[in-house]
Amino acid sequence: MDDGISLRLIERLEEVSGAYGAILCDIWGVVHNGITASQDAARALAGARRRGLKVALLTNSPRLASGVERQLESLGVPQDAYDAIITSGDVTRQLIAEGSRRVLHIGPERDLEIFGGLDVERVAEEDAEVIIATGLFDDETETPEDYADQLRRLAVRDLPMVCANPDIVVHRGDRLLFCAGALARDYEALGGSVRLAGKPYRPIYELAVRTAGIVAGTPILAIGDGMPTDIRGANNFGVDALFITGGIHSADFEGGDAAAVAAGLAANGLSARYAMPALA
């Protein structure tokens, strides 16, 4: 974990990877942007594995690991870049299984695999006992404001929400699109009860360590571009962080030196040991 050493700007992962035995790396914003993969990032992770590090890819995607693996394959990310994939969808399934059977799903059809094999019934709003939010139905055209009236109705009924993706926004190419975390944020503001399963919360990190076979006590480096998810998650889990400044916060950190990046993180109660614009 970061122990007060000043943040260091680096150019290549291999400059620092020798101090670690495992990497927990964000996917969306680091390995790809939703449209194209970063081959530099894939090569950096594959190189770390060749040097003996375990590499677990950690994502707040509401999809299951198998679906994310297919997506990575379609984008040209080679399997030698990682040992395991862990998604917030995997963790969310546990929360769904523990809750009420009659669920209102808010999210696109592509996320329906999250319910596969679970003893639940997807119902209309008026019949629901719990909300499962995986995203906006059409994140290309909608915003959280389109859901304001529905969220107010659900909050009045005091229905609990399980949010499968704590991210507020994500890059798709050059655009920023809203995620389920934006709906959860608005629902909480209305007084609604929300449970979140992905980063920055501990269960997804614990699952990653188990799934990737990372031995207890192994020094871990967490890599990501999201301050409230990746960097806060690393800080909470007690591991070092490499902050990718060219992701969703690029407008805040473009061209910034180490002191400026460290100050920006500190303003949000966060710290990182390293930073770089893009993983390489």
pLDDT of residue 248: 83
Return the percentage of the chain with pLDDT > 90, whole number.
83
Predicted TM-score (pTM) of the model is: 0.83
Q: At residue 254, does pLDDT exceed 80? A: no
Instruction: Answer yes or no: is pLDDT of 2 > 70.
Output: no
What pLDDT shows up at residue 5?
53
Residue 84 tokens, joined: 């395991």
Q: Does the pLDDT value for residue 172 go beyond 90?
A: no
- Calculate the alpha carbon distances from 232 to 18, 109, 152, 220, 272 in Å: 23, 30, 29, 15, 9
Indicate whether 171 pLDDT > 80: no
- CB contact at 8 A, 195 and 164: no
Average pLDDT over residues 126-145: 96
Q: Which domains, from first to last, does the chain contain?
A: 8-89+207-276 (3.40.50.1000), 90-196 (3.40.50.1000)
Nearest CA to 162 out of 62, 269, 36, 52 is that of 62
H-state helical runs in the chain? 39-50, 65-74, 88-98, 148-156, 180-189, 202-212, 232-237, 250-253, 258-266
pLDDT at 48 over 70: yes
Evaluate if residue 1 carries a pLDDT over 80. no
In this model, does residue 191 exceed pLDDT 90?
A: yes
The pLDDT value recorded for residue 279 is 98
What's the mean pLDDT in 248-266? Answer: 87
Q: Is the pLDDT of residue 280 over 90?
A: yes
Half-sphere exposure of 59 toward its Cβ, with a 13 Å CA cutoff?
Answer: 27
Burial level of 19, CB count in 10 A (0-12/13-18/19+)?
A: exposed
Examine the pLDDT at 3 and tell me if it is beyond 70.
no
What DSSP character marks residue 32?
A: B
Residue pLDDT, tens place only, 53-112? 999 999 998 889 999 999 999 999 999 999 999 999 988 998 899 999 999 999 999 999
Of 32-46, 180-194, 239-253, the range with the lowest mean pLDDT is 239-253
